[in-house]
Structure 1
Amino acid sequence: MGRAPQLDHPSRIEVAPRRGLRREEAARYVGVSPTKYDEMVRDRRMPKPWRIDGCVVWDIRKLDAALDSLLDDGEVNEWD
């Protein structure tokens, strides 16, 4: 068997963990659509982002805390 072809360009998949997430990434991390995520930021269920120059990013630690808070407020039993 022959060798697998080599790519001329590096993969666009990032494997390094990051603390700051862009909007779409934050929504995916939380498990909702970007539109739903925007709603959750507006009603303060999710934290506000911070701006780094022209980039708007969310702190993954604050996302974790917000998710924990949602669970504490109204845990959902998947069997109900």
Structure 2
Amino acid sequence: MPRLESVPWVPRGLNRDEAAYYIGVGTTKFDEMVRDGRMPRGKRVDGRVIWDRVQLDLHFSELDNRPRNVIDEALQGGRAAR
């Protein structure tokens, strides 16, 4: 599959690598963000997991607006989004 920068339009469904690249992080950080709810869970389609670009945009727009959850931060050893 071509990299996103070589496609003249961005597909609506993105695999994990593309979704991470789309929001500007590596796959490890993307996985963390999915686990803690900062990014949406992907949709399972047969044997694949696909992220909806629109949902990624919505979650990305809310990154700065989400209130800190001190309980979650304490449980995760202070690693929650700040």
Tell me the equivalent position of 2:64.
Answer: 71
Aligned residue for 2:54, secondary structure, equals helix
User: Root-mean-square deviation (CA), in Å?
Assistant: 1.5
Tell me the equivalent position of 1:35.
Answer: 28
Please tell me whether residue 23 in structure 1 is matched to residue 23 in structure 2: no
Tell me the equivalent position of 2:46.
Answer: 53
Gapped regions of structure 2 (runs ≥ 5) = 68-82
Q: How many residues align?
A: 63
Q: Percent same amino acid among aligned pairs?
A: 48
* Greater Cα radius of gyration, structure 1 or 2: 1
- What TM-score do you get using the length of structure 2 for normalisation? 0.69
Gapped regions of structure 1 (runs ≥ 5) = 1-11, 75-80
